Amino acid sequence: MTLKKLIVIIPTCNEEDTVESVIKQIPRNLAAYTKIVVIDKSRDATPIKARKAGALVLGQSYGGLGTAFRLGIETGIRLGADVLVHIDGDLQYDPYEMPLLLEPILRGKADMVLGRRVFQYKMPPIKRVGNEFFSRFVSRLSGVTISDAQTGYRALNRKALEALLGLNGDYTYTQESIIIAAKRNIRICEVPVTFKKRTHGRSFISLFRYPFNVLVTVTRAYIRERSLL
């Protein structure tokens, strides 16, 4: 496959310290045309700095990561993307590693590529246990072995984008998107990517709210996809 149009989606929420670096480190030689779109829900200077770095900024007035991901998919399709890459705006993922996610798609081996996080720091025990639990849970429901269902670094081709237009979750998207993709015969694979410790800002995901919301979102997605089948 020849990559003609690449759309990079960056969801942000008060990432003024890192968003410029993320945008500037994205390789520009990956496609004939590369467009960077920031889906923003910030109260700081994030949108100003994103525009300064050359990104298109779309405001998000409600919802969470799930809403941002869905808006990113709709935007990617509207802009005619061959492939869409989704990367967080906090610089925990390495933008220079983007070709690793694109390779399986360009070789025709996968439709959706997940960046399996290789942690450069010691993950807190509660997060490690939660990550392992939900990865196994999603693997069981989807029928695809996934070692890191929570990753925010992903690449999707046009077929995968169109399949995921049916996402419903507003709070998060990571696990739901895997289940929907698997049930709709989207080929999924994982590649290892570097994951660094956060140095700016903080995570807005509540450790108490997160498990409940994920369980509800994932269960609904599984029931919905089974009924459609």
Hey, where are the domains in the chain?
Answer: 5-128+150-166+186-203
The residues, any chain, with a CB within 8 Å of residue 149's CB and separated by 6 or more, are 114, 131, 134, 135, 137, 138, 139, 174, 175, 178
- Confidence band of 201 (pLDDT split at 50, 70, 90): low
pLDDT at 208 over 70: no
More confident residue, 219 or 79: 79
- For range 185-198, the mean pLDDT: 96
CATH number of the structural domain 5-128+150-166+186-203: 3.90.550.10
pTM: 0.93
| pLDDT per position as a tens digit, 130-172 | 999 999 999 999 999 999 999 999 999 999 999 999 788 888 8
Per-position DSSP letters for 143-174, written without gaps between them: SS--S-TT---EEEEHHHHHHGGG---SS--H
More confident residue, 166 or 197: 197
| pLDDT per position as a tens digit, 66-114 | 999 999 999 999 999 999 999 999 999 999 999 999 999 999 999 999 9
